[in-house]
């Protein structure tokens, strides 16, 4: 049997439930992947991540190349042995840092030379080096090296960038040696429909195990982002998994799942938790507000996470206002469980053939009567509104 394959199990409009088989277990999609940049989801134990329903973790090629180094991770059992998470891992390629560390890098056809944000030493990432690092880290899913352009960018820049990304994809594929890792290609093109379609079609020509929608959620308005998601999922093959990179706001997940996206990742739920806020159906709950200091209720009625089952808003507000690290840990735990519950409920709605009812119920609680046009239009494009 192939070490990596994807099955479609149910569909409602363009939303779908799938099963992704990897060498380290099978997972159900759509799913959200917690981000463990340094091989660790900040503040959370692997056993707790498993308990709340996490299925796949994501780690960062650039950061793990800097420290502790890929060969050390390889010698200590790869990410699975080194970091103690025995389920599937996904590693990015370092392409996001091409954008986020734009002030510390230089791009040419060969690759990217970074100035380390830790000590200033030069560090070169090429498609070949990125793949070698990811093979040493041992993730189940690895990403082709790409250039993630910032928003806004000129059309000329976007075109040159996506063409370079396609050349780098070809080099990434040639550099890959491990048959037990699935290489995903990344389509770019910014918010230009013609360039987005061109990049997606050309990426699909490589016939890869899966595809990512890159270069979105980088500062553009949602009114510009979601037509690109809809266009991408129309062009990506039905039988392959689709990964929308860097997206983690609940309303974005609901809209994108409705368009047929299978995989998501973002630091948003854990970063939001460390900053003192909880994700709830109505939006975000800021525990720094004094009104929570005497509130005996849990963060969310009916939530099955340890935080909600054990602690009051009053206690969590006390922890946050006191600067206690436990506050960020408990809020991060809840926020991730909230997103996992959201995707679990979405999968069940798809199985029942009525994702539209699920999305409309979510919108009523999240937005009230003022549902944004971008959300309605995205759901309508998926056949749900």
Q: pLDDT tens digit string along 207-251?
A: 999 999 999 999 999 999 999 999 999 999 999 999 999 999 999
H/E segment holding residue 280: strand 277-280
How far is the C-alpha of 252 from the C-alpha of 60, rounded, in Å?
23
Work out the burial of residue 206: count CB atoms within 10 Å of its CB; fewer than 13 is exposed, 13-18 middle, 19 or more buried.
middle
Per-residue pLDDT tens over the stretch 109-152: 999 999 999 999 999 999 999 999 999 999 999 999 999 999 99
- DSSP-derived secondary structure letter, 211: E
Domains along the chain?
Answer: 5-265 (3.20.20.105), 273-353 (no CATH)
Q: Tokens standing for 226?
A: 């979601």
Known catalytic residues? Answer: 92, 265
How far is the C-alpha of 261 from the C-alpha of 264, rounded, in Å?
8
| Whether the Cβ atoms of residue 94 and residue 126 lie closer than 8 Å to each other | no
Per the omega criterion (within 30 degrees of 0), is the bond before 323 cis?
Answer: no
Q: Tokens standing for 217?
A: 């959620």
Q: What string of DSSP letters covers 122-142?
A: EEEE-HHHHHHHHHHHT-SEE
Overall pTM surpassing 0.75 (yes/no)? yes
pLDDT in tens, the chain (385 residues): 678 999 999 999 999 999 999 999 999 999 999 999 999 999 999 999 999 999 999 999 999 999 999 999 999 999 999 999 999 999 999 999 988 988 989 999 999 999 999 999 999 999 999 999 999 999 999 999 999 999 999 999 999 999 999 999 999 999 999 999 999 999 999 999 999 999 999 999 999 999 999 999 999 999 999 999 999 999 999 999 999 999 999 999 999 999 999 999 999 999 999 999 999 999 999 999 999 999 999 999 999 999 999 999 999 999 999 999 999 999 999 999 999 999 999 999 999 999 999 999 999 999 999 999 999 999 999 999 8
């Amino acid at each position: 049997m192939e070490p990596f394959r994807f099955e479609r199990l149910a569909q409602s409009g363009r939303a779908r439930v799938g099963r992704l088989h990897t060498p380290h277990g099978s997972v159900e999609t759509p799913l959200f992947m917690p981000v463990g940049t340094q091989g660790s989801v900040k503040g959370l134990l692997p056993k707790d991540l498993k308990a709340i329903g996490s299925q796949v973790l994501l780690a960062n090629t650039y950061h793990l190349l800097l420290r502790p180094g890929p060969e050390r991770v390889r010698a200590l059992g790869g990410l699975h042995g080194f970091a103690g998470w025995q389920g599937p891992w996904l590693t990015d390629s370092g392409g996001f840092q091409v954008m986020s560390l734009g002030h510390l890098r230089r791009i040419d056809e060969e690759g990217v030379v970074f100035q380390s944000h830790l000590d200033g030493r030069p560090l070169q990432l090429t498609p070949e080096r990125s793949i070698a690092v990811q093979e040493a880290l041992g993730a189940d899913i690895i990403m082709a090296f790409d250039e993630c352009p910032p928003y806004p960018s000129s059309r000329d820049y976007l075109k040159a960038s996506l063409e370079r990304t396609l050349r780098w994809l070809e080099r990434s594929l040639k550099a890959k040696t491990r048959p037990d890792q699935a290489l995903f290609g990344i389509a770019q093109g910014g918010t230009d429909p013609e360039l987005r379609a061109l990049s997606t079609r050309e990426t699909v020509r490589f016939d890869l195990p899966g595809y990512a929608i890159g270069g979105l959620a980088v500062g553009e308005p949602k009114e510009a982002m979601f037509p690109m998601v809809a266009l991408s999922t129309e062009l990506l093959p039905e039988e392959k998994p689709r990964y929308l990179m860097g997206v983690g706001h609940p309303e974005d997940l609901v809209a994108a799942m409705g368009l047929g996206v299978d995989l998501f990742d973002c630091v948003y739920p854990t970063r939001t938790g460390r900053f003192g806020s909880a994700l709830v159906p109505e939006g975000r709950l800021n525990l720094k507000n004094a009104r929570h200091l005497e509130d005996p209720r849990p963060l969310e009625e009916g939530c099955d996470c340890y935080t909600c089952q054990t602690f009051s808003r009053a206690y969590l507000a006390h922890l946050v206002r006191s600067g206690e690290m436990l506050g960020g840990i408990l809020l991060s735990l809840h926020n991730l469980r909230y997103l996992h519950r959201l995707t679990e409920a979405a999968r069940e709605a798809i199985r029942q053939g009525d994702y539209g009812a699920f999305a409309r119920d979510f919108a009523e609680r999240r937005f009230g009567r003022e549902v944004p046009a971008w959300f309605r239009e995205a759901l309508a494009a998926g056949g749900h509104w």
